[in-house]
Chains A and B, each alone.
Chain A
Amino acid sequence: MDFSKAYAIMVNDLTEIFSSRSIYLPMIAVPVFFAIALPLFTFYVSVFNITGVISRIFSTTDIAAASAISGGQFFMTYFSTYVLGPIFLTMPIFTAAVIAADSFAGEKERKTSEALLSTPVTNSELLTGKIMSSFVPALVMTVGIFFIYGSVTNALAYKAFGNYILPTAPWIMMILSAPFLSLVAIGVVVLVSAHVAGIKEAQQISSLIVMPVLIIPFTSILGIADLTVSFFIEIIAGLIVVDAAVIYFGIRSFRKEAIL
């Protein structure tokens, strides 16, 4: 495999995406907004409205009581890690799904694939380039968003409590699981690209993968799952298996005609 060709495909895809403000601006601006707004909301609840809101949110657990004792720091740490963390973990899925759908189904929709496939590029070079063009920005975006929301959270926590609350070990584990979540989304796009007519369909199907991730904060709030380091190690191990299966079947079932 000639990696320079895979790299050229990746660069081409990224240049295309980032040359259109209408595509990249919402993809960046919306998560950045939430990365600032949600920690602010958490801070407000932690400091100014502890007993009312917290006891309503955590009516079935003892977090409300712990928050009342610790003056909100416990709640802020808990909410920032176990609720906001999983919410921002949808980033690597959404970003990867949006870019991968544009990359695979977009070639089909814009009819650029004929020229691309008439070159001596191999299937593995093509797939590597396309996967990288979704994987790299999804990962950069996720790390960036976690950095922003972590920094905002820490700045607010330092102001209120005099110490930083992030990173926690589970929070780091969430960041470490991001690449594996991205790969699932990309693998699904590769799998469905043969069966969809355009970008929107591919995005809709692959975005369904965020559903299980969005369940995570509720399992924590309801006390069903304990989001510990070992929990995330198990999740990552499971994702590696799913990634391998999805990517394997995606590559195996990939036919050039799929994007023609």
Chain B
Amino acid sequence: MGDLVFASKLVKSFKNTVALGGITMSAGRGMNIVVGPNGAGKSTLLRCIGGLYRPDSGSVRVLGMDPYIEDDARRRVSLLSDNYALYDRLSVMDNLRFFGRLYGIGDSEIRKRSKTLLEKLGAYEYSERKAAELSRGTKQKVAICRALINNPDIILLDEPTAFLDAVSAEKVHLMLEGFAKEGRSVIYATQRLNEATRFDAALFVIKNGRLSNQIRTEDLYDETLKGSMVNIRTANRVDARIAKKTPHFDSANGRTIKLRVDGYRDINDAVSYLIGEGTYVVSIDYTEPVIEGMLGG
């Protein structure tokens, strides 16, 4: 898998605030998730990749080009920023037509693509409405359509489901997964790790403008659960003899069995054993928020 996006020692500051403090990363085809808390530098990173900001030092290459200087680099890239970036006084279709024209797409093709995208996200009925009249969720859907109008190879999305309901968010997730499977590069910034882990993706964890961890989502639980304590709560009291035989057993207290695990497979083994012994498992609690700790800690 060739890297479509490559950032090297990327530094970007705004007055006295260092937004990016020397990030080096590469993103290939498929899903790439940039995750981090508020103010970590996710949006700035996406804007540097999208060619909106000139880095103070370091470099960004998109398809081998500098996206800030080489305007052609942006032809195959699209950026959905954390605001809708729609012209409020224009209709949905006028917005899409305008952006389509800037990518050099003909009007009939823009109409065709707009219809397909709006229908996919359930917003076609609003195509003649002014953007100002739309709800936040509908604006977000239109903004996603706008970002996809050029059929991009590299899709940069900053919190794309922030204002969407669960059903619409899932539609967007499925659409993006489809793009990733087609071999495009989807770079998705979010601060919600549960959203990030939904994908089979490369995960870039950013904190204070620096890349603090890089991992595949499928390895995330193994990595973060290593040596962690997990409580399994059951509906019925478990016999002490049965409890002690639970794989990775540490201790038991009433209807709670404490385990020390090294990965999610260990939890599966323990739960399977307990169910096999006629126990009803009602919840699995992490004794410490191990995954969220990746972001905040």
Interface residues of chain A, those whose CB is within 8 Å of chain B, are 2, 4-5, 8-9, 11-12, 15-16, 19-20, 110-122, 255-257, 260
* Contacts known (A119-B74, A260-B52); A112 close to B101, Cβ less than 8 A: no
Q: Which listed residue (B52, B77, B147) contacts A256, Cβ 8 A? A: B52
List the A residue with the shortest CB-CB distance to B94. Answer: A15
By CB atoms of chain A within 10 A, which of B73, B74, B156 has the most?
B74
A111 to B90 alpha-carbon distance, docked (Å)? 15
Return 23 A-B CB contacts under 8 Å, by A number: A5-B102, A8-B102, A11-B98, A15-B94, A16-B87, A16-B90, A110-B87, A110-B88, A111-B81, A114-B52, A114-B79, A114-B81, A114-B85, A115-B79, A118-B50, A118-B51, A118-B52, A118-B78, A118-B79, A119-B103, A120-B75, A121-B71, A255-B54
B114 to chain A, nearest CB (A): 15
* Contacts known (A114-B52, A115-B146); A121 close to B102, Cβ less than 8 A: yes
**Given the complex, which residues of B lie within 8 Å of A2, measured CB to CB?**
104
Instruction: Given contact pairs A15-B89, A111-B83, enumerate 13 new A-B contacts (beta carbons under 8 Å).
Output: A2-B104, A15-B94, A112-B87, A114-B81, A115-B79, A115-B85, A115-B99, A117-B52, A118-B77, A118-B78, A120-B72, A120-B103, A121-B102
A122 to B143 alpha-carbon distance, docked (Å)? 22
**Given the complex, which residues of B lie within 8 Å of A117, measured CB to CB?**
51-52
Per-residue interface assignment for chain B, residues 53 to 77, with 1 indicating a CB less than 8 Å from any chain A CB and 0 otherwise: 1100000000000001001111101
Q: Is the CB of B89 within 8 A of A257?
A: no
By CB atoms of chain B within 10 A, which of A9, A12, A120, A121 has the most?
A120
Q: Is the CB of B103 within 8 A of A257?
A: no
Q: Is the CB of B101 within 8 A of A5?
A: yes
A152 to B89 alpha-carbon distance, docked (Å)? 35
How many pairs of residues, A versus B, come closer than 8 Å at their CB atoms?
85
B215 to chain A, nearest CB (A): 28
Please tell me if B184 contacts chain A, counting CB pairs below 8 Å: no
Q: Is the CB of A16 within 8 A of B85?
A: no
**Given the complex, which residues of A lie within 8 Å of B113, measured CB to CB?**
none
Q: Is the CB of A114 within 8 A of B104?
A: no
A11 to B102 alpha-carbon distance, docked (Å)? 12
By CB atoms of chain B within 10 A, which of A4, A15, A20, A114 has the most?
A114
A100 to chain B, nearest CB (A): 17
Q: Is the CB of A5 within 8 A of B89?
A: no
B161 to chain A, nearest CB (A): 18
**Given the complex, which residues of B lie within 8 Å of A4, measured CB to CB?**
101, 104
Q: Is the CB of B83 within 8 A of A120?
A: no
**Given the complex, which residues of B lie within 8 Å of A255, measured CB to CB?**
54
**Given the complex, which residues of A lie within 8 Å of B85, measured CB to CB?**
111-116
Q: Is the CB of B83 within 8 A of A114?
A: yes
Q: Is the CB of A8 within 8 A of B52?
A: no
**Given the complex, which residues of A lie within 8 Å of B78, measured CB to CB?**
118
**Given the complex, which residues of B lie within 8 Å of A113, measured CB to CB?**
85
**Given the complex, which residues of B lie within 8 Å of A11, measured CB to CB?**
98
* Contacts known (A19-B89, A114-B85); A12 close to B79, Cβ less than 8 A: no
**Given the complex, which residues of A lie within 8 Å of B71, measured CB to CB?**
120-122
Please tell me if B47 contacts chain A, counting CB pairs below 8 Å: yes
**Given the complex, which residues of B lie within 8 Å of A5, measured CB to CB?**
101-102, 104
By CB atoms of chain B within 10 A, which of A2, A115, A116 has the most?
A115
